[in-house]
Amino acid sequence: MRSIKLYSLVGSDGILHLEVPVGITNAELEVVVTVRSVSSGSEKLGELEWLPEFLGKTAEAWQEESLEQKSPQKTENQEELF
């Protein structure tokens, strides 16, 4: 079982229309829908509006020395896992 959480708006007709890609074809599914009102529909839908602006300001912003991943160092008391 997999849970998918969506935020959607109900149109003026009072009907909630859902299109949910599940990645499964030609199969019977049991679908459970829980409807819960949120305080402000636009509040939840706009929750990630800051993301493009944030990424635009921070992407490639590091101007210091280049970041490199160093090889892990083995310590004296480190056990082999495999």
Within-domain flag for 79: no
3-class SS string, the chain:
CCCCCCCCCCCCCCCCCCCCCCCCCCCCCCCCCCCCCCCCHHHHHCCCCHHHHHHHHHCCCCCCCCCCCCCCCCCCCCCCCC
**Mind listing the pLDDT tens digit of every residue in the chain (82 residues)?**
777 788 888 888 888 888 888 888 999 988 888 888 876 545 554 566 666 677 777 777 777 777 777 777 777 777 777 6
Is residue 69 included in any domain, yes or no? Answer: no
What's the domain count of the chain? 1
**pTM for the structure as a whole:** 0.37
Task: Report if residue 74 sits inside a domain.
Answer: no
> Quick one: pLDDT at residue 38?
76
